[in-house]
């Protein structure tokens, strides 16, 4: 019984220490450090995946594979994600050498959100849907290039 208590106490101490250390690390990271390449990469990933999913949804809608509610709600959730990205990047204090890329990422997120809005309008003219899709294609491509530049 004592050995079991000892094991259990040791496990709980380790768990508590890990939780406290990780939380302290996360708070320090969020509060004191300027936004770095990782912050940018996380937000670029969100922009890229939202744009890519928007394009896939548009294709599915064209091919009548999706229900209207599903299509609308998915697009709205993706737009919300992009609006969060715009807000996150807007509040970030980037390192001086990354300011230009942060600004570009913010602009990309804003245009992706607008393009998704264009796709969501019921009975929208074909030209605006095609323009929205073209915007999303160019955004995914630019996001990939920015991510590659960050890797270098």
Partner 1 sequence: MSAFLQIFLGILTAMGGFVEVGELVFSVGAGAKFGYSLLWVVALGTLGIILFGEMAGRVAAVTKQPIFDWVRERAGFRMGLGTLLAANLVSLLTCAAEIGGISIVLRMMSGWPYRLLAILTFLALLAIVWFFAFKWIERFFGLLGLLMTVFVIAAIRLHPDWHAVGAGFVPQVPTLESPKDYLVYAYFAVSLLSSIMLPYETYFYASGAIEDGWQPHEVPMNRIVVTMGFVLGSALAVGLVIVGGQLLKPLGIDPQWPGAAALGPAFTMGRAGLIVALLGMLFAFGGAAVENALTGAYNTAQFLGWPWGKWRKPAGAPRFALAWIVMLTLAVLIILAGVNPIQVVEYSIVFSVLILPLTYLPLLMAAGDRRIMGAYVNNGPTKIAGWFFLALVTLAGLFALPLLVVTRGGKL
What residues line the site for partner 1 (CB under 8 A)? 1, 4-5, 7-9, 11-12, 14-15, 18-19, 21-23, 25-26, 29, 38, 41-42, 45-46, 48-50, 52-53, 55-57, 60, 64-70, 72-74, 77-78, 81, 140, 144, 151
CA angle 26, 107, 95 (to 5 degrees): 40
Minimum Å gap between C-beta 92 and partner 1 is 13
Give 11 or 121: the residue with its C-beta nearer to partner 1.
11
With beta carbons less than 8 A apart as the criterion, state whether 112 and 135 touch: yes
What is the torsional sign of CA 125, 126, 131, 137? Answer: positive
As measured in angstroms, the least distance from the Cβ of 139 to partner 1 is: 11
How near is the Cβ of 76 to partner 1 at its closest, in Å? 9
Q: Which of 127, 145 has the CB closer to partner 1?
A: 145
Task: For the CB of residue 10, give the shortest distance to partner 1 in the complex, in Å.
Answer: 10
Angle at 145 between CA 139 and CA 146, to 5 degrees: 85
Q: Cα(53)–Cα(13) distance, rounded to whole angstroms?
A: 43
Count helices and strands in the chain by DSSP H and E runs? 5, 0
């Amino acid at each position: 019984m004592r050995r079991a208590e000892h094991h259990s106490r040791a496990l709980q101490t380790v768990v508590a220490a890990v939780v406290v250390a990780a939380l302290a690390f996360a708070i320090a990271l969020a509060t004191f450090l300027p936004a770095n390449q990782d912050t940018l990469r996380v937000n670029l990933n969100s922009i890229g995946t939202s744009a890519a999913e928007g394009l896939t949804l548009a294709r599915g809608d064209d091919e009548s594979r999706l229900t209207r509610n599903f299509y609308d709600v998915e697009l709205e959730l993706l737009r919300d994600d992009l609006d969060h990205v715009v807000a996150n990047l807007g509040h970030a204090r980037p390192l001086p050498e990354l300011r230009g890329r942060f600004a570009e990422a913010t602009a990309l997120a804003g245009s992706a959100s607008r393009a998704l809005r264009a796709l969501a309008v019921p009975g929208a003219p074909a030209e605006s849907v095609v323009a929205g899709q073209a915007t999303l294609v160019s955004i995914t491509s630019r996001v990939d290039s920015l991510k590659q530049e960050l890797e270098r």
